[in-house]
Structure 1
Amino acid sequence: MTTTHPRAERAARARAAEFQLTADGIDGVVFGWVDNAGLTRVKSVPLAQLEQAAEYGVGSVPCFDVTLVDDSLTTAPSSTGPVGDLRLVPDLDRLTPLAAQPGWAWAPADRYTQDGKPHPGCQRAFARQVTEAIERRGLSIRAGIEIEWVVADAAGAPATVAPAFGMTRFVEHSDYLRAVLRALTTQGLTVLQLHPEYAAGQFEVSVAAEGPVEAADTAMLVRHTIRAVSARHGLRVSYAPVFSEGSIGNGGHLHLSLWREGRNLGHGGPGRHGLHPEAEQFLAGVLAELPALLALGAPSVASYLRLVPSHFAGAYRCWGLENREAALRLIAGSAAGQANAELKCFDATANPYLAIGGALAAGLAGLDAGLPLPPETPSDPATLGGAERLPASLPEAIDAYEKSAVLREALGPELFETVLAVRRAEAELFAMHTGAEVIEAVRWRY
């Protein structure tokens, strides 16, 4: 579990890290965080300034809490506009030399107020707080986020139109994919799969499960690394939900498993498909809040161009064993440690800390209420009468989010309201745009 450290300890750890980074040829360190629009923002310091940055943080403008995908600003009750400052404090536990950006290292950052208190709008702190609430119940979570992306040539066209999952596509880009694999492995990540996906130019990578905050950190690092490797190969990358109108989109599928005392509660239990009672209640909580969770996990107007039936996006509020059209896919796995649940309706416009933290808060509410898991959907819900569609637009998801007492309490008033303000403003920003115009506007923002 990632933890925070007092200032003096952070400074001492930074001094120790500086020696190794110097030996590794590192000149500067990038500090990253993700805003409520799902965009990664960064500041960097020369290596010689790492100790001071670790001890006191680096200044960061608070207006990024209310910044939209096009870098315009909205307002929220707690936002101060151009007034004030925050401090970005790097998490040295995740300090990583970047294999595809020689001379640079990276660390995720927590955001603090000027007087050293956690910023109430810090999404990473939110994910940590929910994780700690679950741990106080004697439980733990293993999580991972699949990364899908479209690789394009310099002109912006998909770099391959070879068949989905096809060897031809793999051969055409084997040097590129090898570079991606090497970079991720060099950075200490355990790659589980790397393969061509369905849409033109689309690939996917998955890495080993970790704690929730660590999984969100890793999702950031993986995306940065793929982008850097792509640039070195003269390629462009898009993680946007839909690259071209009508095609299968890029997901950001969230995988979760609930554990107690080293036992995976998704395996070997008395419930359906081996679920233990606590796992059933947790998943029931996620399903109960799923329409509202889309405001965190599928948060852009473009998300709903992907979230359509029969596109492997999980457009229906249901669950099923290995059902890739259900929003919540249960994966039994071939061993106890592999059993998990996959939220297929989430995508890469999500802030990963908000997406994971929100899902955990919903699951925790299910545990607290002892919610029963509804009947399983064993086939494509699009073929069944009465199957419940998830919100089909961002305004519908916003409405569900605004009514969610679970998310309002979990996020706290400041973070809940700033997320709401950004969602409303982006819905208004694109209200008069066609689907094609939305895709064009966000294709290279993510």
Structure 2
Amino acid sequence: MTEIPKIETAEDAARYIADRDLPFVKVGVFDVDGVMRGKYMARDKFLSSLEKGFGFCDVVLGWDSNDQLYDNVALTGWHTAYPDAEIRVVPSSMRLIPFEDDLPLFLGEFAGPHEAACPRSTLKRVLARAADQGFAVKSAVEFEFFLFEETPHSVREKRYKDLRNITPGFYGYSMLRSTVHADFYHELLGTARDMDFELEGLHTETGPGVLEAAIRVDDALAAADKAALFKTFTKVLAQQRGWMATFMAKWSRDWPGQSGHIHCSLTQDGKGVFHDPSKPHGISDIMRWWIGGQQALMPELLAMVACTVNSYTRLIPGFWAPTDATWGIENRTCALRAIPGSEKSQRVEYRIAAADINPYIALAAAIGSGLWGVENRIEPDPAIQGNSYEKKHAAKRQLPRTLWDAAQRLKASKPARALFGDAFVEHYAATREWEEREFRKAITDWEMERYFEII
């Protein structure tokens, strides 16, 4: 097991690098889509950057996940000539990459004018709002992801058709499958432990080659870091062995989508405030208002959680994904699942999220809406009992059905602007509009099969 050094300050990081005479380190930032962008940096440059920050072309906030330039954002573009953005190094984020001879990896975050659109900084602003009220937030994310016996070359040569999963059949919670591929499970578990995004559970889900990983709970900002790093390095480990991992919300019409559920609880002075044994199901007033805020704002903030065109193919009845802003006690057909427990374990699961989330932005939405509910003492609807899919819900609880509609709801949301800032809402909503416009250029297989001959 690689020992994770205790790094808190810039001085700690500089001392660690100097003591080991390391010629290079790695630095990375997460963009709007949750894609990690970074580079190797020479020691002298990095040591200077610890104090002063460093410049990184701001195109990483001005292009999509396919490196195509947005034409509808004000923050950056040809009109600003794509200058360098200031990046602030986060010394305490240091990890050692075990398969690069324990090379240090540091996270950065955008500073200066670009901080307003930075995913990590947006979450930090929400958490500062919580701190101003005397609260801290604990969070954990769990991801489902499919694994394929494919490479980046082979999937393109096949045009993403007839892909071979690492295993066939359903096989949920399979001891057979996990034991046959134990070497990969151990490698993933070990890397997660060594790089400080430790898993508390890893198992097969129902479907060919699909796994579910539950990341251990932590303070919300650290939980977002861990979730984002988990997605990145799971893909790395898979590709190193000639496999590929996908975190798409839904890659096949034949199988359920892939979730990225978010668990949150609120603490005050180190004690959980969601639990009140004198109340039904132990749900305190604060927890009830938190649920009320998440329910009320979910339709307005959905673009921050269901962030791709593909996200909306998952939000259909009967596929373990909610379709309206509903909540229930231990009810997995609802968008919000209240989980009763002890003072330490009672929490709310934000089940609308899929595996394609940007963890920083999705957590900002889940936590921000909960805080807004507490601040305004928002009462939720009565808890849903039974199958939520079979019930008719109020029109105000209906979720947007497309990414474009979700972006319009976000732009028009006064609470969103108060929680995340006008600059973030304008920039982020524009990026989602771009994503939908790019999709409109595509001619799908469904259209060809449906219209080519008969129309």
Q: TM-score, normalised by structure 2?
A: 0.87
Give the residue type in structure 1 aligned to 2:75: S
How do residues 333-344 of structure 1 correspond to structure 2 at under 5 angstroms? Answer: 333=341, 335-344=342-351
Tell me the residue number matched to 2:12: 13
Deviation at 1:237, TM superposition (A): 1.1
Deviation at 1:421, TM superposition (A): 0.8
Distance 2:280 2:446 in 1: 44
- Conserved? CA contact 1:100–1:225, under 8 Å: no
Tell me the residue number matched to 2:366: 359
1:104/1:292 CA distance change after superposition, 3 Å: farther
Tell me the residue number matched to 1:383: 390
Give the residue type in structure 1 aligned to 2:283: L
Distance 2:146 2:104 in 1: 25
- Conserved? CA contact 2:125–2:420, under 8 Å: no
Partner deviation per Cα, 1:174-215 (whole Å, 9 max, x = no partner): 111011111111223442111111232111111221112111
How do residues 208-357 of structure 1 correspond to structure 2 at under 5 angstroms? Answer: 208-333=216-341, 335-357=342-364
Q: TM-score, normalised by structure 1?
A: 0.88
Distance 2:446 2:357 in 1: 20
Deviation at 1:103, TM superposition (A): 4.5
Structure 1 stretches of 5 or more lacking a match?
A: 1-8, 439-446
- Conserved? CA contact 2:339–2:347, under 8 Å: yes
Aligned length: 423
Tell me the residue number matched to 1:408: 417
Distance 1:195 1:21 in 2: 38
Partner deviation per Cα, 1:255-304 (whole Å, 9 max, x = no partner): 11111223222223444421111111112111111012211111100001
- Conserved? CA contact 1:35–1:67, under 8 Å: no
1:129/1:224 CA distance change after superposition, 3 Å: same
Distance 1:118 1:394 in 2: 24
Distance 1:283 1:409 in 2: 19
Deviation at 1:80, TM superposition (A): 4.1
How do residues 71-90 of structure 1 correspond to structure 2 at under 5 angstroms? Answer: 71-74=67-70, 75-81=72-78, 82-90=81-89
1:231/1:52 CA distance change after superposition, 3 Å: same
Tell me the residue number matched to 2:38: 42
Deviation at 1:348, TM superposition (A): 3.1
| Pair 1:143 & 2:152 matched | no
Structure 2 stretches of 5 or more lacking a match?
A: 1-7, 155-162, 448-455
- Conserved? CA contact 2:261–2:352, under 8 Å: yes
Which deviates more, 408-417 or 287-296? 408-417
Higher relative contact order, structure no. (Cα contacts within 8 Å, ≥ 6 residues apart): 1
Residue aligned with 1:361, SS: helix
Deviation at 1:144, TM superposition (A): 1.2
Residue 421 of structure 1, aligned match among 395, 416, 430: 430
Tell me the residue number matched to 1:94: 93
Distance 1:351 1:126 in 2: 12
1:39/1:361 CA distance change after superposition, 3 Å: same
Give the residue type in structure 2 aligned to 1:40: M
Identity of aligned residues (%): 23
Distance 2:446 2:104 in 1: 36
Distance 1:353 1:414 in 2: 16
Distance 1:59 1:42 in 2: 12
| Pair 1:62 & 2:69 matched | no
- Conserved? CA contact 2:283–2:340, under 8 Å: no
Residue aligned with 1:94, SS: strand
Residue aligned with 2:98, SS: coil
Distance 2:196 2:30 in 1: 22
Residue aligned with 1:283, SS: helix
1:119/1:189 CA distance change after superposition, 3 Å: closer
Give the residue type in structure 2 aligned to 1:381: S
- Conserved? CA contact 2:142–2:212, under 8 Å: yes
Deviation at 1:332, TM superposition (A): 1.8
1:92/1:176 CA distance change after superposition, 3 Å: same
1:407/1:436 CA distance change after superposition, 3 Å: farther
Residue aligned with 1:91, SS: strand
- Conserved? CA contact 2:339–2:346, under 8 Å: yes
Distance 1:221 1:131 in 2: 20
1:83/1:190 CA distance change after superposition, 3 Å: closer
- Conserved? CA contact 1:164–1:198, under 8 Å: yes
Tell me the residue number matched to 1:109: 108
- Conserved? CA contact 2:139–2:217, under 8 Å: yes
Q: CA RMSD in A?
A: 2.3
Distance 2:266 2:277 in 1: 12
- Conserved? CA contact 1:10–1:54, under 8 Å: no
Residue 199 of structure 2, aligned match among 191, 197, 208: 191
1:292/1:386 CA distance change after superposition, 3 Å: closer
Residue aligned with 1:92, SS: strand
| Pair 1:169 & 2:177 matched | yes
- Conserved? CA contact 1:265–1:275, under 8 Å: no
Give the residue type in structure 2 aligned to 1:394: L
Distance 2:307 2:281 in 1: 31
Residue aligned with 1:86, SS: strand
1:132/1:436 CA distance change after superposition, 3 Å: farther
Residue aligned with 1:120, SS: helix
Distance 1:425 1:70 in 2: 12
Distance 1:20 1:345 in 2: 46
Give the residue type in structure 2 aligned to 1:221: L
Give the residue type in structure 1 aligned to 2:328: G
1:269/1:42 CA distance change after superposition, 3 Å: farther
Residue aligned with 1:338, SS: coil
Give the residue type in structure 1 aligned to 2:367: L
Distance 2:20 2:287 in 1: 42
